[in-house]
């Protein structure tokens, strides 16, 4: 490594140091020896030592920059793989995710995997364990909701009937609202404003309960506008609701009951208006005891999901 020694007014001269000497010099510097001590010990001019240290620092910084850029690129690719993996298999263990990534050529430590999961908003299913401790009275304060799809079907007609917004709680049924077309945040908020909120205000005044509004993770429920509107109107909901969890929402049984009732009248239903009327007739005839039984099963549902580690249950 050629370095130049300049002292006072003497002519510049180039000192050629071998790699071993340079390494020894840098080693002493990293061991917190002062420039003066290194100069005294190795009998090398101070300017040569300073130049060698400066060159070493520049080399290290350039290497670190290169490694950082390379790591950032790898991190982005790994992050995409991790996010996709967690979305596809939300109940798979960290170890299983780690093995799956290793098969795909991404070797990552378990703690790093856990950190990536936290950064991307994924966590364990501990919230379900927390709900096991809820009393039946607390579950009675939950308003269950969903937007199922129904169809008009016969030998000549296949017409899609968009969505119904239906809600219920242990004390009875809420409104059944027909929602046609694409259900975005604006359409959903319009439905809440015109149908759900007036009903919610009425039963809150009648019962003096603090209701919790259950929704799934659909974009129209979790968008910024929807969250702002519900917060503004004082609608409380669950902080987290697991995706793909029909066995945790008892309203799925209500839809199954309604579908069976409608099936017996299919021969009479020829268009959407007739289907809508039939749905409303059957909706308001659902027995209250049936709803109470569904809400009363929530503790058992949570326990069953935990025992199945997020898998399917009898519910």
Per the CB < 8 A criterion, the answer to whether 154 and 270 are in contact is: yes
Amino acid 246: pLDDT: 64
**pLDDT per position as a tens digit, 134-174:** 999 999 999 999 888 777 665 333 344 445 678 999 999 99
Confidence category of residue 285, pLDDT binned at 50, 70, 90: very high
Best-predicted range by mean pLDDT (7-11, 89-93, 112-116, 299-303) = 299-303
Tokens 């263990």 correspond to 93
Higher local confidence (pLDDT), 41 or 10: 41
Token couple for 89 = 């298999």
Please tell me whether residue 151 adopts helix, strand or coil conformation.
strand
Q: Among 211, 134, 206, which residue's Cα sits nearest to residue 168? A: 211
pLDDT for the residue numbered 9: 46
Lowest mean pLDDT among 7-16, 191-200, 258-267, 291-300: 7-16
Residues 84, 117 contacting (CB under 8 angstroms)? no
- Its pTM stands at 0.59
């Amino acid at each position: 490594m050629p370095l130049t020694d300049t002292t006072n007014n003497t002519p510049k001269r180039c000192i050629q140091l071998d790699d071993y000497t340079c390494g020894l010099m840098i080693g002493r510097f990293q061991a917190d020896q002062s420039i003066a001590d290194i100069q005294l010990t190795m009998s090398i001019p101070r300017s040569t030592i300073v130049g060698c240290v400066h060159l070493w620092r520049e080399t290290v910084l350039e290497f670190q920059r290169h490694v950082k850029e390379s790591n950032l690129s790898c991190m982005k690719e790994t992050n995409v793989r991790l996010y996709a993996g967690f979305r596809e298999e939300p109940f798979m263990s960290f170890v299983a995710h780690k093995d799956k990534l290793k098969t795909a050529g991404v070797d990552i430590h378990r703690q790093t995997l856990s950190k990536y999961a936290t950064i991307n908003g994924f966590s364990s299913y501990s919230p379900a364990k927390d709900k096991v401790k809820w009393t039946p009275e607390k579950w009675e304060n939950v308003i269950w909701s969903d937007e199922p799809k129904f169809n008009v079907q016969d030998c000549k007609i296949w017409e899609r009937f968009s969505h119904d917004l239906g809600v219920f709680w242990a004390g009875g049924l809420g409104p059944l609202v027909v929602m046609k077309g694409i259900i975005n945040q604006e359409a959903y908020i319009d439905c809440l404003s015109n149908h759900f909120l007036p009903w919610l205000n009425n039963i809150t005044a009648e019962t003096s309960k603090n209701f919790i509004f259950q929704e799934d993770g659909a974009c129209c429920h979790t968008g910024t506008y929807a969250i702002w509107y519900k917060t503004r109107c004082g609608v409380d909901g669950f902080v987290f609701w697991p995706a793909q969890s029909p066995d945790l929402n008892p309203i799925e049984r209500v839809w199954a009951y309604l579908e069976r009732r409608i099936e017996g009248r299919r021969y009479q239903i020829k268009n959407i208006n007739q289907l809508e009327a039939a749905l409303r007739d059957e909706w308001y005839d659902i027995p209250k005891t049936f709803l109470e039984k569904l809400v009363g099963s929530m503790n058992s549902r949570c326990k069953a999901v935990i025992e199945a580690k997020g898998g399917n249950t009898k519910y």
